[in-house]
Amino acid sequence: MFGIGAAKNVVGLDIGSSSIKAIELKKSKGQIEVTHIGFEPLASDIVVDSMIVDSGSVSSAISKIFTENIMKSKLVATSVSGHSVIVKKISIPTMSEQELAEHIGTEAAQHIPFDISDVNIDFQILSEDLSGPQMDVLLVAVKKDKILNYTNVLSLAGRSPAIVDIDAFALQNCYEYNYDPAPGATVALLNLGASVMNINIVKGVTPLFTRDVSVGGNQYTDSLQKELDLSFDDAEALKLGQQVGTVSADAKAPILQQVTEIIVLEIQKTFDFFRATAPGEHIERIYLAGGSSKVPGLIEALRQEFSLPVELLNPFQRVALPLGQTTALVDQNPGQLAVAVGLALRSFENL
Residue pLDDT, tens place only, 160-170: 999 999 999 99
Cα 272 to chain centroid distance, Å, stands at: 21
pLDDT of 333 higher than 90: no
Q: What are phi and psi of 73, to 5 degrees?
A: -65, 135
Confidence of residue 5 (pLDDT cuts 50, 70, 90): very low
- Report the DSSP beta bridge partners of residue 338: none
Q: Determine the pLDDT at residue 351.
A: 45
Q: What is the mean pLDDT of residues 72-86?
A: 92
Q: Answer for the pair 264, 219: CB distance below 8 angstroms, yes or no.
A: no
Strands 186-192 and 285-289: parallel
Q: Answer for the pair 55, 102: CB distance below 8 angstroms, yes or no.
A: no
Within 10 A of 69 (CB to CB), how many other CB atoms are there? Answer: 17
Q: What is the pLDDT of residues 285-332, one digit of tens each?
A: 999 999 999 899 999 999 999 999 999 999 999 999 876 555 677 888
In CATH, the number for domain 2-218+258-347 is: 3.30.420.40
Q: What is the pLDDT of residues 203-237, one digit of tens each?
A: 999 999 999 999 999 999 999 999 999 999 899 88
* Distance (Å, whole) CA 232 – CA 261: 22
Q: What is the mean pLDDT of residues 161-190?
A: 96
Confidence of residue 348 (pLDDT cuts 50, 70, 90): confident
- For residue 210, which amino acid is it? T
Q: Determine the pLDDT at residue 41.
A: 93
pLDDT of 3 higher than 60: no
Q: What is the pLDDT of residues 108-158, one digit of tens each?
A: 998 888 899 999 999 999 888 888 899 999 999 999 999 999 999 999 999
End-to-end CA distance of the chain: 17
* Distance (Å, whole) CA 327 – CA 20: 16
Q: Taking the alpha carbons of 271, 333, 249, 217 in that order, is the dihedral positive or negative?
A: negative
* Distance (Å, whole) CA 304 – CA 298: 10
